[in-house]
Structures are given as C-alpha cells and as structure tokens.
C-alpha cells in the first residue's frame, strides 16, 4: 500500500487552552505514523473563508453538520472580530500507509461518544439543546476525512503557508510588552526513536509555564547546523576536559609502563590529548542530534538533512527564557527536580529529552541556525500534489 499524507489542524480554542501536548501525544502514539511537519498559522480572513467554503461544499460531510462546521471555521479561525488580532492554529502532517483513515479513526466523529477513545471524545464538545439542535460545538481539531478532502485542504493551506504561517507572535492571546521574550525549545531525537506519547507529554509539562507556542517545525538537523549550533560548547569541552584527560592518561601510562608520571608530563598529556578528546565528545553530540558522524565530512555532506528527527518549538511571553528553563531542569537529569522535563524524561547529560535557549541572544542565534520559521508544509504538499 502506498504512503499517504494526512493532516491535523489543532483549533485555536484547543491551542489557547494549552491542550496541544495532549492532542499531539494521542496522534503520535495512537496512529504510529511519522510526524513529518508542523507549522503555526495565523489564518487571514481569506484563508478562513476559503477553508470554510471547502467544508461547506464537501459532500462527504454530514449535510446537517456541514454548515455548522463551515460557520465555525469562518468565525473561529480568522482574526477576532472585536480586536482584529489573529488566532493561532497548529498544522501537523503525518505520513504513512493508510494515513488518512488512521488519522480519521483516532480523531473520532464530530458527535463524540464521550468514551474517551478518540481525540474529540477527550478534547471536543458537541452539546444539543432541548429541541435537539446544536447548542455548542467545539471539534478540537479538523482533519481531511477522505483522500479528496485531504488533498484540497492541503493545497489550500500550502498556498497560504508563507503568508499566514511561521512565527505568529502577534496573535491575540500572546502577551505583548517590554518583558516579551521568545525561547527556542528542541525536543531531541530520543523522543522520536519510536512512536510514543513522549513529545506531547513534554509539551504538556511546558504548558504550565503559561507561555504560548508561536512557532513549530519538524526538523532533521544537518551536521553543518549542529556544528554551528553547538560551536560554543566545543571550545568549552576542549579546555574543560584537559584535566580529566591528563589524570586518565597518566594512570594508563603508569599502568602500562610501570612508571610514575610527573605533574609536568601529566600537564603535557592534557594539553596534547585534551582538545582531541573534547572534539570527540563534541562530535558525539553532533551524532546524537543528526544521526550522522560529522568529523571529516566534506561541506556537501554536512549540508544534507540528518537521519534523526526533532521538534522545534518557539515559546513566547514575559520572561520566557527563565520560565522555560526552570521547567526544563539542569543538564544532568539526576540533579533535576521532580516534575521537570529532564527528571521525567532525561537519561544522561546528552540524552536529556530537550534543549532550551539560555538567553534572548542565544534564542535568536539558534532560531536563525535551525530556520524555525521555514515553510516545510508547502514542500511536503507539493511532493504529494505536484
């Protein structure tokens, strides 16, 4: 069976209530599909109307529900009528065999059964009045229920992806002001070794920061990006590890040759071997983040997308850097507080679940290196619908 591309649109209400992590956890763990792209949108009135019209004319949707869903999109996806400020919508793309039907099954029907089995059971609402008419509707997410509907919707959103997507830090529910900061968070490759709820659960922990997700991208870091991203760490490792290397090298030489090593010789061993050992440790980090051993590669090879996948998220709000890092926890998971991301999901100082920017300046530098606002939605859609 050929692979398909399916999408999930996490509605503005679901996103604003910080239910994003729970929704993502459900789709990754219950579909077993590959999460291949993610992007934040601030839909324009034109995009909201166009998507509503697609739903309004989709004969595969229940004719009773169809106009209600279309009206919902036109009303809730576009800018707020009172303030004119945009709303946040997150698009996820999943790839795999029978992806469209699998996503549909996990999403559940518009009329939830309240069993908790589907995404809409848990995160959606469908309330009728005494006369049996729809009193309140919150679908939680939108999907493409058929191959045709999926294709039409994807082509539409891809058309507006550059205009309406990227870093949406001016959305109506994003706090503005002098203390506004943006922090880059990377959910590292150890969270994507197999389909699990981990990425969503980590996002759920970060939600207690009260910050808003304003950017999202599934990324395969290149070796060149990793070298630049972790470049400052390399010099630290080369210097910091000299003493450790000197002690271990002196012991090894003494054991092998049966002779004592003077402090002067020990220091020389550290100066000679320490930087090389630091480089080795540096490239282990690069390998972990990219899935490729980068040392010795030519520039052309370094520029190729890595084999490992991570999820980039940009959080915005007052004092975002310190708030995110306090929830993340220290580099060593064993020293992190209970309830922190690294204590819950970290393994060691390298395989520690997530990275977070440590300053406003570094956040800007890191977002530039990883191109977190880059439009990958259109690339994936054009691959399936050239």
As given in the structure block, the two tokens for residue 28 are 């990754």
DSSP 3-state of 243: helix
Contacts of residue 120, Cβ cutoff 8 Å, sequence gap at least 6: 107, 108, 109, 110, 112, 126, 139, 140, 141
86 to 1, 78, 82, 166, 174: CA distances (angstroms): 40, 6, 11, 13, 10
DSSP tag of 337:
P
From the candidates 135, 148, 219, 355, which is the catalytic residue? 355
Task: Say if residues 27 and 94 touch (Cβ distance below 8 Å).
Answer: yes
Residues in CB range of 288: below 8 A, 6 or more apart: 188, 189, 308, 350, 351
219 carries an active-site annotation: no
Query: For the residues of 153-187, what is the DSSP string, one character each?
Result: HHHHHHHHHHHHBS--TTSTTS--STTEEEEEEEE
- How many other C-beta atoms lie within 10 A of the C-beta of residue 152? 17
Residue 40 in 3-state DSSP? Answer: strand
State how far the Cα of 159 lies from the Cα of 147, in Å rounded to an integer: 18
Among 57, 88, 66, residue whose Cα is nearest residue 152? 57
The residues that are catalytic are: 355
């Amino acid at each position: 069976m050929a692979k398909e591309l399916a999408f999930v649109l996490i509605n503005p209400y679901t996103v604003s209530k910080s239910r994003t992590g729970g929704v993502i956890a459900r789709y990754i763990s219950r579909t077993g599909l590959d999460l291949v792209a993610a992007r934040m949108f601030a839909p324009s009135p034109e995009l909201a109307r166009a998507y509503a019209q697609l739903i309004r004319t989709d004969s595969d949707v229940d004719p009773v529900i169809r106009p209600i869903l279309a009206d919902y999109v036109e009303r809730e996806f576009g800018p707020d009528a009172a303030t004119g400020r945009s709303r946040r919508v997150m698009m996820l793309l999943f790839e795999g065999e029978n992806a469209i039907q699998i996503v549909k099954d996990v999403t559940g029907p518009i009329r939830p059964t309240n069993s908790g089995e589907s995404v809409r059971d848990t995160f959606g609402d469908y309330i009728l009045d005494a006369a049996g008419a729809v009193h309140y509707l919150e679908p939680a997410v939108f999907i493409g229920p058929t191959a045709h509907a999926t294709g039409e919707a994807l082509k539409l959103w891809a058309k507006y992806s550059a205009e309406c997507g990227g870093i949406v830090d001016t959305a109506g529910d994003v706090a503005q002001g002098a203390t506004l900061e943006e922090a880059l968070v990377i959910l590292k490759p150890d969270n994507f070794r197999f389909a699990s709820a981990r990425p969503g659960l980590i996002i759920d922990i970060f939600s207690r920061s009260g910050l808003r997700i304003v950017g999202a991208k599934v990324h395969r870091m290149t070796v060149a990006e990793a070298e630049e991203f972790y470049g400052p760490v390399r010099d630290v490792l080369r210097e910091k590890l000299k003493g450790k290397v000197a002690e271990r090298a002196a012991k090894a030489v003494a054991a092998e040759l049966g002779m004592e090593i003077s402090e002067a010789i020990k220091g020389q061993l550290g100066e000679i071997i320490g930087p090389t050992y630091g480089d080795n440790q540096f490239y282990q980090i690069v390998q972990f983040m990219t899935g490729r051993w980068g040392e010795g590669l030519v520039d052309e090879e370094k520029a190729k997308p890595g084999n490992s996948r991570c999820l980039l998220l940009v959080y915005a709000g007052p004092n975002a850097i310190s708030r995110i890092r306090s929830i993340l926890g220290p580099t060593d998971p064993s020293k992190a507080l209970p309830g922190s991301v690294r204590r819950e999901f970290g393994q060691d100082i390298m395989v520690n679940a997530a990275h977070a920017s440590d300053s406003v300046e570094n956040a800007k530098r890191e977002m530039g290196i990883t191109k977190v606002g880059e439009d990958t939605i259109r690339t994936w859609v054009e691959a399936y619908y050239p």
